[in-house]
Amino acid sequence: DTEVTQTPKHLVMGMTNKKSLKCEQHMGHRAMYWYKQKAKKPPELMFVYSYEKLSINESVPSRFSPECPNSSLLNLHLHALQPEDSALYLCASSQETGTDTQYFGPGTRLTVL
Amino acid sequence: AQSVSQHNHHVILSEAASLELGCNYSYGGTVNLFWYVQYPGQHLQLLLKYFSGDPLVKGIKGFEAEFIKSKFSFNLRKPSVQWSDTAEYFCAVNAYSNTGKLIFGQGTTLQVKP
């Protein structure tokens, strides 16, 4: 089973709202990732967690706040977003960080009004 | 800095035509190579990957790719495409020194006409 699940599938929020995206995997993977994907563009890495610790932050604005409560869960907390943050947010996981294969979830389609 | 280049941005083929999508990367060290596919409205799925060994790798749905180290290339091929292959295709590279950073190419939109 190589399934990564994400909720919600769609999210519409105003610029003053606070919301969270959730990601879950039960493959025993120890690395989890957040990516942002704009239409017809490749995914852009945002954050990497390894063994529940943040290992890479790709200079993401502080209005995006990741959290890894345990080895199976990854959250992305959103606050005071801008319309240009509207995108597909993808979660991925891999056995370890480094060069292991990353498996992607279906994403959350975020619209910021 | 590492980069991945996909030469074909938009490819239109008729069913049963052969497909080859180009992918080149710039990194001198050891790399792992991937092709991912994103069908309309669906999530990124792994088509195939190369870590080591036989440079000709076979993936799902009849796709294959050849790693040519001297050319820094990892081209994707399929002998006969189907309408259901219509999708966005991404080549990606993960360097051994990169601690989890998967570098994607810009993607190729494949449209197969029935």
pLDDT band at A54; cut points 50, 70, 90: very high
Average pLDDT, chain A: 93
**Percentage of chain B surpassing pLDDT 90?**
76
What residues have CB less than 8 Å from B68, skipping those under 6 apart?
Answer: B55, B74, B75
Q: Does B2 touch chain A (CB under 8 A)?
A: no
**How many of the other CB atoms lie within 10 Å of CB of A43?**
27
Interval A81-110 mean pLDDT: 92
Q: What are phi and psi of B62, to 5 degrees?
A: 80, 10
Nearest CA in chain A to B94: A99
Q: Considering all CA atoms of chain A, what is the largest pairwise distance in Å, rounded to the nearest integer?
A: 38
Nearest CA in chain A to B105: A42
Distance CA A92, CA A64 (A): 17
Interval A61-90 mean pLDDT: 96
Q: For B7-45, what is each residue's pLDDT tens digit?
A: 889 999 999 999 999 999 998 788 899 999 999 888 899
Say which DSSP state A101 is in: P
Q: Chain B neighbours among A 60-89 (CB < 8 Å)? A: none
Q: Across the interface, do B102 and A102 touch by the CB < 8 Å criterion?
A: yes
Q: Is the pLDDT of residue A7 over 80?
A: yes
Q: For A26-37, what is each residue's pLDDT tens digit?
A: 999 999 999 999
Q: Does B3 touch chain A (CB under 8 A)?
A: no
Strand segments (E) across B15-86: 19-21, 24-26, 31-38, 45-50, 56-58, 64-68, 73-78
Distance CA B109, CA B87 (A): 6
Contacts of B98 in chain A (CB under 8 A): 98-99
Q: What integer pLDDT is reported at residue A100 of this predicted model?
A: 83
Q: Across the interface, do A50 and B46 touch by the CB < 8 Å criterion?
A: no
